A = this chain, B = another copy of it.
């Protein structure tokens, strides 16, 4: 977890989180345990639990109460990744063979369901009030809606508004839940908890825009994904839909979408989106969200958690090409 080296307070908790994740699967059957171990050892960014922990550190941090909820949020996120891999027919994730590739869709779907139910058991046991338990369930509901919207809109150029709604559903709501659950666990009052929720929503939106920019940049290759993967699948993201406000780009895009979408044509279309200014404009929008997040953070008041949250914003702010 080298990414936390500049944040020692968080790094200690993230190390403890790994133990909680490991313990959570110690009693399950051997097969599911080894599946879970592989998933968690391949080491995602742990961004959502980090946000939850950091938000909690802005108040009175209680490790015993916080880490199980942070672990539940990471398990929930992992469940959705396992199902995404089935959906995308992905063979590897983070350089490691996916469950679906190793054991077939069967095991991947069941493992995802198992991880989802595990999340619920952990949250039900957590003593969080129902309102905050509900946030996690709503986040899953919302992610499914966002993914379905993306599926329905395949090959269609969405409005900026429809795009933002989709990425809020896909990513923003879970980031928001992580921050508001963390703030609640840190003892903030309801008005402040809502502020943290809004902060998380915006940070999640920024994160997804960054991810979408990365899909079109050479940064995608560094992350082990083919460049333009979304575009080839007919998923239109912010840089492309902004470029499509230009009529000549738009007619080119429409032709591309109706074609077999070769890698060569995908590459050319991305270059056109860049030179039309769509890519730069999307980056400006990302920067705007990042600036707004930093501003919101200033209003949270001084605490041990604030520099940690600032560090997480910085991680997300790093340009895709540098990612």
Contacts and interface: CB of A to CB of B under 8 A. Distances in A.
Interface stretch (A79-87, A278-286, A292-300): A79-87
Interface in A130-156: 130, 133-134, 136-138, 140-141, 143-145, 147-149, 151-152
A29 interface: yes
Given A105-B105, A121-B137, A121-B138, A145 B113 contact: no
Contacts of A106: 87, 151
Nearest to A140: B117
A134 B121 contact: yes
A304 to B, nearest CB: 31
Contacts of A83: 109-110, 113
Q: How many copies does the complex hold?
A: 2
Given A113-B116, A113-B140, A116-B116, A32 B134 contact: no
A184 to B, nearest CB: 15
A111 B116 CA distance: 14
A124 interface: yes
A258 to B, nearest CB: 20
Nearest to A76: B117
A145 B32 contact: yes
Given A80-B113, A87-B110, A148 B105 contact: no
A103 B87 CA distance: 12
Contact of A134 (B103, B111, B125): B125
Nearest to A144: B114
Given A105-B105, A133-B124, A141-B114, A148 B86 contact: no
24 contacts: A29-B145, A29-B149, A31-B149, A32-B145, A80-B113, A83-B110, A86-B86, A87-B105, A103-B151, A105-B105, A106-B151, A109-B109, A110-B148, A112-B113, A114-B140, A114-B145, A116-B117, A117-B137, A117-B140, A117-B141, A124-B130, A124-B133, A125-B130, A125-B134
Nearest to A152: B31
Nearest to A119: B137
A103, A124, A138, A152: most-surrounded residue (chain B CB, <10 A): A124
A80 B144 CA distance: 16
A32 B118 contact: no
A130 B126 CA distance: 10
